[in-house]
Amino acid sequence: MIVLGRASAVSSTFPSLLLSRLRELTFISPRSQVGSSVAKELASLGATIRSVDYDSPSSLATALEGVEVVISTLAGGGVAAQVPLAEASKAAGVQLFVPG
């Protein structure tokens, strides 16, 4: 499962709850946010952190390889990324895409 969002704007509570119930969880975030305190906290709890360029279809496709479920927590300016993200999810064979 992948959770997407800007690490600086996403509370670690939701991903932390998922991590307590899942074997693995990947959090993808813009490259500029990968070093944020939330991303570091999620990594310390066992999440895999991947950086992505939301403006690059190939970056999105690479980040979504082998993923079954995508939960998007993008909001505000990130809402515009939902369509390319949904398209990349479909192209990557994601079984379930949950928009934010």
Question: pLDDT tens, 34-90?
Answer: 788 878 888 888 888 888 888 888 888 888 988 888 888 777 666 777 888 899 999
Contacts of 74 (CB under 8 A, 6+ apart): 4, 5, 6, 81, 82, 85, 100
The tally of domains found in the chain comes to 1
CATH code, domain with 63: 3.40.50.720
Are the beta carbons of 6 and 29 closer than 8 angstroms? Answer: yes
Alpha-carbon distances, residue 46 vs 19, 24, 25, 41, 49 (angstroms):
7, 8, 8, 9, 9
What are the tokens at 91? 């192209």
d(CA 60, CA 41): 23
Residue 25, domain extent: 2-98
